[in-house]
Amino acid sequence: MNEYENKIELMNYLNILWKRKWFIIIATFLFISAAVAISFILPPKWEVDAIFVPSKYIIRTQGGPIQEFPFVNSGLMTEIINQATYNNFIATELSLDTKDLTKLKAEHLKGTHQVRVSIIESDIEKAKLILHSLLNRIKGDLDVMAHTEIRGVDSQIKSKEIEKLILERKIKAYKKKLNIIKQRKQEIEKDMNEIRKKIEELTKERGLILKKKDRSESESFTMLHYSNEIQHNSMNYHILNELLGKNKIEEEIKNIEIEDKERLINQIENEINSLNERKKYIYHAQITKEPTSSISPVYPKKLLNILIAVPLGFIIFTMFAFFFEYLEKQKAKSKG
């Protein structure tokens, strides 16, 4: 019974559709024609887009991957642009009303640090001017960060160079002292050689007198004098030897200090080279794609509008057909 009733109900629907087929067809055709007419009447709009990369620095590690670090995250740059942060600046620069400024759309290109900015506008040249203004402003802001980083690196390099200069001057002063110590050593060694020769001569003379069995009083006095002289010269030799030892220790200390300062200079030079290398890998913001318009208009989408209008018109006017049928039945009931 239910199946039979369902068939009757379906036949009623089909009868209504057949009865009002020309209304549905004509109305749908007019609706599609209107959609086509509007699509052709509306002014065409092109999409103009550009791509830029924020300023960044690169770290190169031995045996590791190259790592890029933007000064401003690409995702944050996208949000800033989408929030119309630069609109007032663009409007002022181009003498436009902010209300007349077409919405800018930014998106972060996945897997990269690039940001794509686009605008849909009927006037291509105006759109390009807007994007150029935006890119120049963004590049200026981002480049300030790169310049600040470079100045910071330059400041570190200058500080290291001053530190190196101070060490070089200390080494120069130590070398002067070292030369003085060496001259002093040579003088002491010369004096010690002379004293040693003198002691040898006195010892020899005293030995000759000691060999004599019968020594005169004057010879005994001379021998005593030689002994005193030998003792006195030996004491002087000992003093000079101690002084020579102190000079050798001082010379060794100065050599160690010079080596230490030279090692520090090498370390500083490596740090300066590292900082100079780091400065090479600080990159300013780059525009990788200048503002470029799409080949054909992106709005209005005529084919899409027609494809939407066909089913939409059919559905709308089919519903009207059923509604009119309902009104007729209600009118007939009221007369009956």
Q: What single string gives the DSSP state of each residue in 200-225? A: HHHHHHHHHHHH-SS--HHHHHHHHH
Average pLDDT value over all residues in the chain: 85
What is the DSSP code (8-state) at residue 114?
A: -
Amino acid 127 reads A
Radius of gyration of the chain (CA): 51
pLDDT of residue 158: 95
Looking at residue 2, its pLDDT comes to 54
Q: Which residues pair with 51 in a beta bridge?
A: 116, 289
Residue with tokens 């040249």: 125
Q: Please report which confidence band the pLDDT of residue 273 belongs to, taking 50, 70 and 90 as the band edges.
A: very high
Centroid of chain to Cα 60: 12
Tell me the per-residue pLDDT of 201-234, one tens digit each, with 9 for 90 and over.
888 888 887 777 776 777 778 878 888 888 998 9
| 292 DSSP β-pair partners | 49
% pLDDT > 90, the chain: 43
Query: Using CA atoms, how far apart are residues 229 and 216, in angstroms rounded to an integer?
Result: 20
Query: What sign does the dihedral 121-124-129-135 (CA atoms) show?
Result: positive
Confidence label for 302 from pLDDT (cuts 50, 70 and 90):
low
Task: Provide the pLDDT confidence category of residue 328 given band limits of 50, 70 and 90.
Answer: confident
Q: Which of 11-20, 25-34, 39-48, 287-296 has the lowest mean pLDDT?
A: 11-20
- What would the mean pLDDT of 243-261 be, rounded to a whole number? 93
Band of residue 1 on the pLDDT scale cut at 50, 70, 90: very low
Predicted local distance difference test score (pLDDT) of residue 336: 56
**Mean pLDDT throughout 275-297?**
90
What is the structure's pLDDT at 6? Answer: 53
H helix intervals, 83-123:
87-94
pLDDT tier, 41 (very low <50, low <70, confident <90, very high otherwise)? confident
The DSSP H or E segment spanning 191 is: helix 124-211
Determine the Cα–Cα distance for residues 213 and 215; give it in Å rounded to an integer. Answer: 6
pLDDT at 136: 93
| Per-state percent for the chain, helix, strand, coil, to nearest 5 | 75, 10, 15
SS3 state of residue 69: strand
Query: Band of the pLDDT at 8, cuts 50, 70, 90?
Result: low
What's the whole-number mean pLDDT along residues 292-305? Answer: 78
Query: Residue 287 belongs to what H/E stretch?
Result: strand 286-293
Does the pLDDT value for residue 21 go beyond 80? Answer: no
159 compared with 318, residue with greater pLDDT: 159
pLDDT one-digit tens code per residue, 171-192: 999 999 999 999 999 999 999 9
Exposure letters 188-218 (e unless 16+ CB within 10 A, then b):
beeebeebeeebeebeebbeeeeeeeeeeee
In this predicted structure, what is the pLDDT of residue 9?
64
Per-residue pLDDT at 10: 66
Give the pLDDT of residue 61.
66
Residues 43-94: tens digit of each pLDDT: 788 899 999 999 988 887 666 677 888 888 889 999 999 998 999 999 989 8
- Percent of the chain's residues with pLDDT above 70: 92
Is residue 164 within 8 Å of residue 268, measured between CB atoms? yes
